[in-house]
Homo-oligomer: A and B are copies of this chain.
Amino acid sequence: METVSETKCFEGMQGVYTHSSKVCACDMTFALFLPPGPGPHPLLWYLSGLTCTHENAMTKAGAQGWAAQHGMAVVMPDTSPRGGADVADDAAYDLGQGAGFYVDATQAPWAPHFNMWSYITDELPKLLFRNFDLDEARQGITGHSMGGHGALTVAMAFPDRFQSVSAFAPIAHPTASDWGRKQLAAYLGPDEGRWGVHDATVLMRERGLDAPLLIDQGTNDEFLDLLRPEALVEAAALRRQPMTFRLQAGYDHSYFFIASFMPDHMAFHADALL
């Protein structure tokens, strides 16, 4: 693992690190904020949305001040493998690099590198807990848009791993949305039976979640019809799943929306992790 940068921030340290990923078969970069004070620190995962690298949330989400105040570490991974000519890509913003969708691809040309599911759920956690003073027993997860999809599906796949789960404007029902069907078909192939484990609404119907859950969604979100949070909420209602879903008047899909509700999400995770 190589240190790209370490910058003091809110008395803690904002780091950027690169490492050789086995599952993605390329170098991967992630951002990690460590709060001030002695560890081991609880760890909040922040999964980013389409087109993002590790950098967008690191610079624009405004998480560090609250993370420092609450004494939480925050990891902000990249959203896909990237790099040299051997890593496939697509001209569209919503497929390929910047759009890994938090799945392990089985289809050409994606399968050799696009294994973000294994990266986020296995390889990167091991790397983090080996190299930093983090408390594996206290983890929360959140994310935005495609990253909200990742947060929800990962949380429901690993029911004992996260003590708190939240999302900002998540892609909540990808098997029934143009933000999902295209990518799941490309990465996983046409057999829709394999898609459900990557759909938060399907998982909510079948498994639910044994952790507090908070979802914020802006009413002026230009992508609301693609996100389909109402399907997830319906599944939660039918299941009697405790959760908080807030439609926030006037907010759109941007980082201005994320930053506006970051204080609430950080306090929500702190309640569970501290």
Task: Tell which of B65, B220, B254, B257 touches A259, judged by Cβ atoms closer than 8 Å.
Answer: B65
- In the complex formed, the residue of B with least CB distance to A14 is B256
A256 to B9, Cβ gap below 8 A?
yes
Task: Tell which of B8, B64, B259, B263 touches A9, judged by Cβ atoms closer than 8 Å.
Answer: B259
Task: Tell which of B8, B218, B252 touches A257, judged by Cβ atoms closer than 8 Å.
Answer: B8
By the criterion of a CB under 8 Å from any partner CB, how many residues of chain A are at the interface?
23
Task: Note all chain B residues with C-beta closer than 8 A to A14.
Answer: 256
Say yes or no for A178: interface residue by CB 8 A criterion.
no
* Chain A, 1-49, CB within 8 A of any chain B CB: 7-11, 14
* Chain A, 250-264, CB within 8 A of any chain B CB: 250-252, 254-257, 259-260, 263
Top 7 A-B pairs, shortest CB-CB distance: A9-B256, A8-B250, A7-B256, A10-B260, A62-B62, A8-B251, A59-B60
Cross-chain pairs A/B with CB under 8 angstroms, 26 sampled? A7-B252, A7-B254, A7-B257, A8-B218, A8-B220, A8-B250, A8-B251, A8-B252, A8-B257, A8-B260, A9-B256, A9-B259, A10-B259, A10-B260, A11-B260, A59-B60, A59-B255, A60-B60, A62-B62, A62-B259, A64-B256, A64-B259, A64-B260, A65-B259, A65-B260, A65-B263
